[in-house]
Structure 1
Amino acid sequence: MNLNTTLDPVLLRSFVAVVETGSFTRAAESTHLTQSTVSQQVRKLESQIGCELLHRKGRYVTATLEGERVLSYARRILHLMVEAVSQTSLSVEQQKIRLGVPEDFATHAIMPTLADFSRRYPGIRLEVKSGMCSDIWREFQRNELDLALVKQRQNSQPGLASWPEPLCWIDSLEGNNLQRDPIPLVTFPIGGLYRSEMAHTFDSLGRSWRLAYVSTSLSGVCCAVEAGLGISLLPKRLVTAKHRILDETDGLPQVADLELTLHAQSQLSAYDKMLADELIGACEEMFLR
């Protein structure tokens, strides 16, 4: 055998199939080739190596001593080829990072971090989806997101990192919507944590309430409260100069803090981990202000 001979994986695949099935006919079926093609390929491999690889006499085709040696290498070569293609495909797939964030963090809060990451790693396709936390969490559980920032009740779901999110009741600066009956509420669609907390609070107080404004837009909710359409429950950091914070002196109980938690799938690429670290840094800076 010429030591510079290159073994064709196509020939190796036919040889392995014959040994494993014990028949040229069955090998042809498993490789989706004709019997004559499989036979020709094995003959060509034997010619390249310079020895017989198969015992062709008897009911079953078996490997010769030399054939058994070649079989071991052939299997390893074919396995490495499959592994190389699999790992390359995985690497390409990992060039995409899918991130879910609440709407109030999809504006100025973390945009500089995301923009800077995209500039430094132009080969990474960063896909960011913002929306209601309930929707983001469902997509994360379906493995449709690699990383997800979500608001949740404290200690409900462990993640990579968590930060407290204090809430407060707000009305317009000049408004007095608590004196109205029913009390007008400005809130998000059903399923949101703020909405369920608002409804539970007024039900427990025995106060009637109605939905005055419902929107998936955080800016829309904030503007509706500023305009005096009703009362809302929002994170303290979102209070503006046109809002008035309501508390126990107004007859409203203090609401337990929520928490912002960064969740990650169990299998992450190196770039996923780098982005997670940068998001943690951005959130630490934001909540320490």
Structure 2
Amino acid sequence: MNNRFFDLDLLKTLVMVVDCSSFTVAASRLHSTQSTVSQKIRRLEAMAGHRLLERGHRDIQPTDAGETVLGYARRMLSLNDEMLDVLAGEFEVTIRLGLPEDFASGRRTTHVLSTFNRRHPRVKLEVTSGLSRDLSKGFDQGELDLVIVKQRRHSREAVACWPERLCWIDSAEAPSCDRDPIPLVAFPPRGLYRDDMIQAMERLGRRWRISFTSSSLSGIQAAVADGMGVSLLPARAVTNQHVIVTGHFGATAVDTMEVVILHRPRADAMVKELAGFLIDMLEQDLDER
């Protein structure tokens, strides 16, 4: 029988190092020293019997074993917090919600979540925003209970789904679409819309180059607004600093994506009720297009 018990403090240290991608920053947030953080990671690796982190020149990435431990660590820490909250009589349940950045920062989403919170004041909402691929991975690993993600149409079964309207956008003040080669502002490789943009340029026979890459939606929006290139984004992400390119350089419409809601079939009733709130929000969004 295996009598090893993983120390939550060590697991918390691993999560913090990965989230910060830095021992130094993690040490600061944990109010500790870098050497102490390093010692805790070594102790955890000895207990797990595997190397958990790959230390690169610029960042820190979990190994395959580290990804496994990280998923369980987040769940164990969440359960620990949930238990403390329940014992304190503050919360009945915690819902871990994942949202793409353009939804997480939207006023409509905030309004929906606040309405749900007022109806269920003893339900704790833990909201994580990020790239859809990371949210999907978190959901699959049990780190999230409910997610809105963007995916290729019909790539996986969902609770509900809607077509994602995409727009080619350019800067309102410093347009880029007449340049040759045309500069493209894109998410990193394997990021949403990047391949669609490149394939569209290839079909049109246009010369192109990636002029700017960012994993942040706000970074993409700002780069386009400042004239660094054109991009392909959801209609909801277009600001007054952008213009929608409707045919200026012949770019055809891209309709390969959809927005979906995912939760597990046996999800808590509160998770399903919140999903209903989000479904109503997305239905309204579709009606207004």
Q: What is the CA distance between 1:174 and its match in structure 2?
A: 4.0
Letter in 1 for 2:282: C
Please name the residue that 2:280 is paired with.
Answer: 281
The answer as to 2:158 corresponding to 1:171 is no
Letter in 2 for 1:128: V
Please name the residue that 1:258 is paired with.
Answer: 257
Cα deviations across residues 60-104 of structure 1 (Å, max 9, x unaligned)?
xxxxxxxxxxxxxxxxxxxxxxxxxxxxx8xx6981211111100
Indicate if the aligned counterparts of 2:186 and 2:212 stay in contact, CA closer than 8 A.
yes
The answer as to 2:161 corresponding to 1:155 is no
Q: Secondary structure at the match of 1:254?
A: coil
Q: What is the CA distance between 1:142 and its match in structure 2?
A: 1.4
Query: Structure 1 stretches of 5 or more lacking a match?
Result: 1-88
Q: What is the CA distance between 1:114 and its match in structure 2?
A: 1.2
Please name the residue that 1:103 is paired with.
Answer: 101
Task: Tell me how far apart the structure 2 counterparts of residues 265 and 205 of structure 1 sit (CA, whole Å).
Answer: 42
Task: Tell me how far apart the structure 2 counterparts of residues 176 and 251 of structure 1 sit (CA, whole Å).
Answer: 15
Q: Secondary structure at the match of 1:250?
A: coil
Q: Secondary structure at the match of 1:240?
A: coil
Indicate if the aligned counterparts of 2:163 and 2:255 stay in contact, CA closer than 8 A.
no
Q: Which moved more, 1:192-201 or 1:260-269?
A: 192-201
Letter in 2 for 1:253: T
Please name the residue that 1:272 is paired with.
Answer: 271
CA RMSD of aligned residues (A): 2.1
Q: Secondary structure at the match of 2:259?
A: strand
The answer as to 2:146 corresponding to 1:139 is no
Task: Tell me how far apart the structure 1 counterparts of residues 211 and 108 of structure 2 sit (CA, whole Å).
Answer: 28
Q: Describe how 1:1-289 pairs up with structure 2 within 5 A.
A: 95-107=93-105, 108-289=107-288
Letter in 2 for 1:155: H
Q: What is the CA distance between 1:165 and its match in structure 2?
A: 1.4
Indicate if the aligned counterparts of 1:166 and 1:257 stay in contact, CA closer than 8 A.
no
Letter in 2 for 1:286: D
Task: Tell me how far apart the structure 2 counterparts of residues 191 and 109 of structure 1 sit (CA, whole Å).
Answer: 28
Indicate if the aligned counterparts of 2:176 and 2:229 stay in contact, CA closer than 8 A.
yes
Evaluate the alpha carbon distance shift between residue 211 and residue 255 of structure 1 in structure 2; reply closer, same or farther with a 3 A threshold: same
Task: Tell me how far apart the structure 1 counterparts of residues 265 and 214 of structure 2 sit (CA, whole Å).
Answer: 34
Q: What is the CA distance between 1:203 and its match in structure 2?
A: 3.0
Larger-Rg structure: 1
Normalised by the length of structure 2, the TM-score is 0.63
Q: Which moved more, 1:126-135 or 1:257-266?
A: 257-266
Could you list the runs of 4 or more consecutive aligned residues of structure 1 that deviate by over 4 angstroms after TM superposition? none
Letter in 2 for 1:105: F
Q: What is the CA distance between 1:253 and its match in structure 2?
A: 1.8
| Alignment length (residue pairs) | 199
Letter in 2 for 1:183: I
Cα deviations across residues 115-159 of structure 1 (Å, max 9, x unaligned)?
222233232221111110111111111122111101112222221
Evaluate the alpha carbon distance shift between residue 265 and residue 94 of structure 1 in structure 2; reply closer, same or farther with a 3 A threshold: farther
Q: What is the CA distance between 1:249 and its match in structure 2?
A: 4.5
Task: Tell me how far apart the structure 2 counterparts of residues 275 and 131 of structure 1 sit (CA, whole Å).
Answer: 19
Cα deviations across residues 8-55 of structure 1 (Å, max 9, x unaligned)?
xxxxxxxxxxxxxxxxxxxxxxxxxxxxxxxxxxxxxxxxxxxxxxxx
Task: Tell me how far apart the structure 2 counterparts of residues 196 and 284 of structure 1 sit (CA, whole Å).
Answer: 28
Q: What is the CA distance between 1:257 and its match in structure 2?
A: 4.8
